[in-house]
Amino acid sequence: MGLPSKRRTKRSKRERASHFALKPTALGTCPKCAKPVLPHKACGYCGTYKGKQIIAIKLKAKTTKQKDQARREKAKEKELAKS
């Protein structure tokens, strides 16, 4: 009733499944910020699509590591300005 009458061979199974392999994602680059972006999608970083601003993107909060680095750079600038 529900059983196949012939067993599918290993070769036949592999031939059938040969097109199941994943293809590499086709990525383009955003013309504004040059970040990788999927085709026909708005850029997730700057929010533009076809040269127009589509999405208002909020700036991400800086991490403590980035804040510390900015403080060090400001301190160096002050030291250079003093001398």
Amino acid at position 53, single letter: Q
If residue 52 lies in a helix (H) or strand (E), which one and from where to where?
Answer: strand 52-53
pTM over 0.85: no
Count of beta carbons in the 10 Å neighbourhood of residue 37? 21
Is the CB of residue 32 less than 8 Å from the CB of residue 43? yes
Q: Distance between CA 46 and CA 34 in Å, rounded?
A: 10
- The residues spanned by each domain of the chain are 25-82
What tens digit of pLDDT does each residue of 21-76 get?
Answer: 998 999 999 999 999 999 999 998 899 999 899 988 877 777 888 888 889 999 98
If residue 48 lies in a helix (H) or strand (E), which one and from where to where?
Answer: strand 48-49
